[in-house]
A and B are shown apart, each in its own frame.
Chain A
């Protein structure tokens, strides 16, 4: 059962562009939605997270948009840089504390 659907699988942008990654969920019990960044051979690093009572959250160049009625949330990377090239995972947590991850999006930022 795929609880969190993530798209696209991969995307390529030019430096300064805004990659957008989308996630959708079905379980209305989810109450916390983090995004993780993963570089090859490394563990997932917590990037930014949002609760469902907020529609948008910004931290630096990263913005989460959250649409509770549509059960969708997205990550925008503003002014993307080659160093942002990584795999990004959305996730969702319910009150059992386990994270359900999306399939991941490989972002390539070309200089």
Chain B
């Protein structure tokens, strides 16, 4: 069964450093998303991406964040200058239309 994959599973970085989180969505899906989940809290929407451009973004997704689909398979989230409060699980998801399937997540720890 096709699934969303994410790398790395855990990323530790120092405050102020840039990180890139990578995702491979399900191959025939059209919509791509990033969500985050701070430990013990609910899942929060960050950004959606369709037809090679951002279709929607939340207030969390400020100028420090960017997304890219550099080729036909990968979907990346870049955080330019990480802050302590960026520590969270980051989930990539994809959908053909409505049903969004989530990856296993990348745990980002900012020290």
**Which residues of chain B are near A42, meaning CB under 8 Å?**
104-105
Q: Which of A57-111 contact B (CB under 8 A)?
A: 89, 91, 93, 96-104
| Count of chain A residues with a beta carbon within 8 Å of a chain B beta carbon | 21
A101–B99 alpha-carbon span in the complex (Å): 14
Q: Which of B46-104 contact A (CB under 8 A)?
A: 48, 50, 55-56, 58, 91, 95, 98-104
Report whether A97 and B91 are in contact in the complex, using a CB–CB cutoff of 8 Å.
Answer: no
Q: Which of B18-52 contact A (CB under 8 A)?
A: 31, 33, 35, 41-45, 48, 50
Interface presence of A45 (CB below 8 A)? yes
**Which residues of chain A are near B103, meaning CB under 8 Å?**
43
Report whether A32 and B98 are in contact in the complex, using a CB–CB cutoff of 8 Å.
Answer: yes
Report whether A43 and B99 are in contact in the complex, using a CB–CB cutoff of 8 Å.
Answer: no
Report whether B45 and A44 are in contact in the complex, using a CB–CB cutoff of 8 Å.
Answer: no
Q: Assuming the A-B contacts A102-B42, A104-B42, are A97 and B99 also in contact, with contact meaning beta carbons closer than 8 angstroms in the complex?
A: no
Nearest 10 pairs between A and B by C-beta? Answer: A43-B102, A98-B45, A101-B43, A101-B42, A96-B56, A43-B104, A44-B102, A103-B42, A32-B98, A43-B105
**Residues of A at under 8 Å CB distance from B?**
32, 34, 36, 42-46, 49, 89, 91, 93, 96-104
A-B contact pairs, 9 of them (CB 8 A): A46-B101, A46-B102, A97-B33, A97-B56, A97-B95, A99-B45, A101-B42, A103-B41, A104-B42
